[in-house]
Chain A
Amino acid sequence: MATAIPTRPFGRHADVRVSALGFGGHHLGDAADEATAVRLVREAIDAGVTFFDNCWEYHRGKSEIWMGKALEGRRDEVFLMTKACTHGREARLGLEMLEQSLRRLRTDHLDLWQIHGVCFENDPALFIRPNGAAEALRKAKDDGKVRFVGFTGHKDPAIHLAMLDTGFPFDAVQMPLNPFDASFKSFERQVLPALAARGIAALGMKPFVGKGEAVQAGTLSAEEALRYAMSLPVATTITGIDKPEVLAQNVGIAQGLAPMSDAEMDALRARCRADAADGRFELYKLSLKYDNPEARTAHGFPIDRQQAEVKELLTATENTGHPFPPSDG
């Protein structure tokens, strides 16, 4: 008999609790079809998942639309997060994206709204400038359209720390957390303590280290990877779910989770350290090729349309490279 997925306090808002396993919205758009996606979301709720992640630009809105359909009649059972893709642009654009996200998700409010993809060195300055996205977060909260606000990024702990240094009162911050991270440009070592000091809810992502190459290479098992991430001082660990077997695997690990001991975590970090030190397993921190073409375009950075990864992304998302406005979902 399976036990429940544990819940955890949401940062300084300790009366709010979220499931220790979070349902990643990008992979939901990779599900075989809408019916599968709807079933995955509802089965996850039945299994005790309450934290649902999404983003305005995932699959050109498909991820939000499918999740919105799945949550019909069950919206109150979940803690719903989506992200705005301002990528350095102004508050007004963020608020337009919010309205679109709310329509797609079939709700009048979000539990958490985050700035997506904070990855460039000038993002903190662009965020906090007059008319920057910080003002959208404030206004959305004042208008009661979002309960909490935050930001996310996968690139560099220094950029996360610079965002915190803007002084903006974030409720949540999302980042890659896994046993490789501990030894390479580490969010765990640099950002987690800063969040704890400020009472900000930490949201982990990429528990399987990028696309799971280290698991495939046999350095660690999927269970070790997910247990490690969930044993850190985080509110939730977001992981992508696109198939019933992936849902079953992750729910199985999360139900009745026994956190790793400090010694177990140390041993796993040590096992991964030699492979982690040049960052080749965490390319999202390193390579320009892993930058989101939408974000690069919005910043005025060139994209290489001949690059395989860019071609893939442009095709997969029917993305023109010009981020807004798209057709409404």
Chain B
Amino acid sequence: MRYDAQPFEILENTRIADGIFDMRVKNDVIAPLAVCGQFAHVYVPSKTLRRPISICDKQDGVLRLVYQVKGEGTRLMSQMKKGDSVDILAPLGNGFKIEQGKRYCFIGGGIGVPPMLYAAKQTENPLVITGFRTSSLIILQDDFKNIGAELVLTTDDGSAGRHGFVTDVLKEKLGEFDEVCACGPTPMLKAVAALCAENNKPCQVSLEERMACGIGACLVCAVKIKRDGRELTLHVCKDGPVFNAEEVVF
């Protein structure tokens, strides 16, 4: 795998929900290499570390990065302007493995929803379950509708869509798909993984961990993985971010 960091032109960087921004960046050389579930490592001037952001969508040399302002780095990202250049190391990591002929259920929780869009676009008739804490944080509903997905919205507080968790919906729909791909907070992923295991549904989960290099050299983004009867310490950036849920030690 060749790695490269290159300047991307910012085509758009707009707020789409409370504290959530939609950035579109263009680079004709490395953007087209991205597959669903991979991430972009964004350089933020003055910061020591890049920000790993999941790839929400890709089209014609443009990557779409939907991110939440969580700290100083993402706050600075949100202030970047259309026409500016941003240095991005991408695409990184291993994405979702999508097989033709299967019906997939994509589950996103909060800021784990964005990578589900590009993944869902790779499949026929996807079922998409999105969950948010509250209505002000809802994103990407029109995008999922536009690709023809069967879409379910839940909120933890009942302020929009169905009152409850994505797992409540997943339980009811277990007979309607072959495999699950999920991204979101760890408790959600753990619950989704457990449900899938109980019901013999294959499940891929995209994990998050604090990162530095993004390529597997510095070893900070550790994750415990059970494989061939042994517990291994692997790394989200290089071995993931997508893992087989059965192997993850939550």
Are A and B associated in one complex?
no
Interface residues of A (CB under 8 A from B): none
